[in-house]
């Protein structure tokens, strides 16, 4: 069966040249599926591997817009509608200079399995642009979003493809995107985008969901060892939505997060992160982590290295892909880190994952541990369909239940395929089989 897997991987590399992140994501999944294919050879007979690595649809388009000085700019827009076996395509939009077809493809591929794990009837997709909203005025961001949505609106809909936010796309951007969609389609399709404002179809807990879910997953892993987050020190990377609310939930569960970061460096706050100050700096002022340090006695800014240099019990990478490499993993392990739960998408390199698994620590891949965001997006779609809104406690309880189910599905799959405690195999096997069985039921389409 390994020959089958390797052949498919070689085809992916040949067909998608130069897309290193996509290659990495595919290899990570395929390498886990050997035991699944061996036990269920009909998946190989029906070419499920070849089919699942090929997007159903890839869209790339020009996005022209005008800045405040009247200068014209041109960016690229992308939407990869990867797999709709379980439901409408679902996945975020990322606005960041690093965005290209390979990045969006890797994110969309990961989204297939992540969404399948939630059990909510949503397919996998992803999109975005190489536009950088940082430093732009509200008017410039609005004009870009309107141009972007003018093309994207042709390809999305509540039962077709439902984008959400991601890096660089928060409530402001979702608002501008939805306004243009409504204008173009002459229809108030609240379920076409998630991450909306509460006054116009958004869901409570959506803002917190990815960070909360990551920490809840870490807590579930610790529970299998009769342990908890109570009293644990935590390193968090990033200072965006995911990182902030991972810090919040970790504090609620009795842990002490002591780091966060952005592109300028990372902050170490041995007394424990002042969450309200961090929210003020990042969510209100859109400032840098240095602004936190300037107002927080005892905190220090480190401009060399990464948060993983700080000795902690738990690591939560919540920034971006491949931010935690083999050297970082070795440092974490040497310093006694016993839990790694990914809040970002594919933040650990293959070598880092190998080190974590060889050491036998609790390690959760992002497709499982950061699924809380898309899970709550699906809950937002459910509320939109019923023209209702749940209170915070109801939405959080549903999120907590979903994350517990994802954890248990990963544990069960790992045991089924002979590798108890292997959350990578468990997540990939559970997600793959759910999608593959439905693809077979739908025929060769």
* Residue 169 DSSP SS3: strand
Which one is catalytic: 7, 39, 105, 126? Answer: 126
Count CB atoms within 10 A of the CB of residue 189: 17
Instruction: Tell whether the torsion through CA atoms of 135, 373, 127 and 425 is positive or negative.
Output: positive
State the DSSP code for 296: S
Backbone angles phi, psi at 120, to 5 degrees: -110, 10
- Among residues 204, 222, 209, 315, the alpha carbon closest in space to that of 266 is found at 315
Backbone angles phi, psi at 186, to 5 degrees: 50, 45
114 is in an annotated binding site: yes
* Residue 251 DSSP SS3: helix
Please state at what angle helix 20-30 crosses helix 2-15, rounded to 10 degrees: 170
> For residue 293, what are the contacts with CB-CB under 8 A and spacing of at least 6?
267, 299, 300, 301
Residue at token pair 């997007």: 55
Question: Alpha-carbon distance 128 to 215, whole Å?
Answer: 27
DSSP string covering 35-57: HHHHH-THHHHTTHHHHHTS-SE
Strands 259-262 and 89-95: unpaired
- Cα 420 from chain centroid? 25
- The edge-to-edge listing of strands for the beta sheet with 233-236 is 256-257, 233-236, 314-316, 339-341, 362-364
Strands 300-302 and 161-164: unpaired
126 carries an active-site annotation: yes
Question: Alpha-carbon distance 341 to 331, whole Å?
Answer: 16
- Among residues 318, 373, 92, 370, the alpha carbon closest in space to that of 205 is found at 373
Residue at token pair 């800014």: 301
Question: Which tokens in the block code for residue 277?
Answer: 């100050």
241 is in an annotated binding site: yes
Does residue 90 come out as left (phi exceeding 0), alpha (psi in the -120 to 50 range) or beta? beta
Instruction: Tell whether the torsion through CA atoms of 246, 253, 279 and 193 is positive or negative.
Output: positive
State the DSSP code for 308: G
Question: Alpha-carbon distance 9 to 95, whole Å?
Answer: 29
7 is in an annotated binding site: no
298 is in an annotated binding site: no
111 is in an annotated binding site: yes
Does residue 279 come out as left (phi exceeding 0), alpha (psi in the -120 to 50 range) or beta? alpha
Instruction: List residues forming the annotated binding site for NAD(+).
Output: 210, 241
Residues belonging to the active site:
126
List, as residue ranges, the binding site.
Answer: 90, 111, 114, 165, 210, 241, 377
């Amino acid at each position: 069966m390994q020959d089958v897997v390797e052949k498919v991987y070689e085809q992916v590399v040949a067909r998608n040249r130069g897309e290193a992140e996509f290659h990495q994501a595919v290899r990570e999944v395929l390498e886990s599926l050997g035991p699944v294919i061996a036990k269920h050879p009909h998946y190989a007979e029906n070419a499920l591997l070849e089919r699942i690595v090929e997007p159903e649809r890839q869209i790339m388009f020009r996005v022209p817009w005008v800045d405040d000085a009247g200068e014209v700019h041109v960016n690229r827009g992308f939407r990869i509608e990867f797999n709709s076996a379980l439901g409408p395509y679902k996945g975020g939009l990322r606005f960041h200079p690093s965005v290209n077809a390979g990045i969006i493809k890797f994110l969309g591929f990961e989204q297939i399995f992540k969404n399948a794990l939630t059990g909510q009837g949503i397919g996998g997709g992803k999109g975005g642009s190489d536009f950088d909203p940082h430093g732009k005025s509200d008017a410039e961001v609005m004009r870009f979003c309107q141009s972007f949505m003018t093309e994207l609106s042709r390809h999305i809909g509540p039962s077709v493809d439902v984008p959400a936010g991601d890096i660089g796309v928060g409530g402001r951007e979702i608002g501008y995107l939805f306004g243009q969609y409504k204008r173009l389609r002459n229809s108030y399709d609240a379920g076409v985008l998630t991450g909306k404002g509460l006054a116009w179809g958004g869901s409570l807990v959506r803002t917190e969901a990815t960070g909360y879910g990551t920490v809840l997953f870490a807590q579930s892993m610790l529970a299998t060892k009769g342990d908890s987050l109570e009293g644990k020190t935590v390193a968090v990377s990033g200072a965006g939505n995911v990182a902030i609310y991972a810090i919040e939930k970790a504090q609620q569960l009795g842990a002490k997060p002591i780091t966060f970061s952005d592109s300028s460096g990372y902050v170490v706050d041995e007394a424990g992160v002042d969450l309200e100050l961090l929210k003020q700096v990042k969510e209100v002022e859109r400032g840098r982590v240095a602004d936190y340090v300037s107002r927080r006695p005892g905190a220090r800014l480190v401009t060399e290295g990464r948060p993983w240099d700080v000795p902690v019990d738990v690591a939560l990478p919540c920034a971006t892909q491949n931010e935690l490499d083999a050297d970082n993993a070795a440092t974490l392990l040497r310093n006694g880190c016993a839990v790694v739960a990914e809040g970002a998408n594919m933040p650990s390199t293959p070598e880092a994952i190998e080190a974590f698994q060889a050491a036998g620590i609790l390690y959760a891949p992002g497709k499982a541990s950061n699924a809380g965001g898309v899970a709550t997006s699906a809950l937002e779609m459910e509320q939109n369909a019923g023209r209702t809104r749940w209170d915070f406690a109801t939405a959080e309880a549903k999120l907590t239940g979903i994350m517990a189910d994802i954890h248990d599905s990963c544990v069960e799959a790992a045991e089924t395929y002979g590798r108890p405690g292997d959350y990578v195999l468990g997540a990939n096997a559970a997600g793959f089989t759910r999608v593959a069985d439905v693809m077979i039921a739908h025929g060769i389409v």
